[in-house]
Amino acid sequence: MPLIFRIIFFLFFSINCYSQSGGQSLFKFLEIENSARSQALGGYSSAIFDNDVSLSLMTPSLLNQSMNNELSFNVTDYFSDIKFLSFTYAKSINKTDVLGFGIRYFDYGNFESFDQMGYITGNFNAKDQVFSVGYSKTLNQYLILGVNVNLINSIYDTYSSNAISSNISTTYNNIENNLTASLLISNFGRQLKKYNSNNDIIECNVSISVSKILKYLPFRYHITYNYLNKFDIKSSYNLTTQTNIETGEIEVKDESLAKTFLRHIVIGGELNPFKKNFFLRGGFNFQRRFDLVTNTQPLMVGFSWGVGFRVKKIYFDYSRSSYHLSGNTNNFSIATNLTTFGI
CATH of the domain at 278: 2.40.160.40
Give the pLDDT confidence score for residue 318 in this predicted structure: 97
Mean pLDDT computed over every residue of the chain: 87
Domain that holds residue 174: 3-341
CA angle (307 as vertex; 304, 310 as ends), nearest 5: 155
Residue range 99-140, pLDDT digits in tens: 999 999 999 988 888 888 888 888 888 999 999 999 999 999
pTM for the full model? 0.88
How many domains, the chain? 1
Q: Which helix (H) or strand (E) covers residue 285, if one does?
A: strand 278-285
Q: Determine which of 17-31, 52-66, 156-170, 292-306 has the lowest per-residue pLDDT on average.
A: 17-31
Give me the mean pLDDT over the 37-49 stretch.
92
Burial category of 156 from C-beta neighbours within 10 Å (exposed 0-12, middle 13-18, buried 19 and up): middle
How far apart CA 99 and CA 97 sit, in angstroms, is 7
12 φ, ψ (degrees, to nearest 5): -60, -40
Tell me if 293 sits within 8 A of 259, measured CB to CB.
no
DSSP lists the bridge partners of residue 291 as none
End-to-end Cα, the chain, rounded Å: 35
166 φ, ψ (degrees, to nearest 5): -150, 150
Give the pLDDT confidence score for residue 1 in this predicted structure: 45
More confident residue, 69 or 295: 69
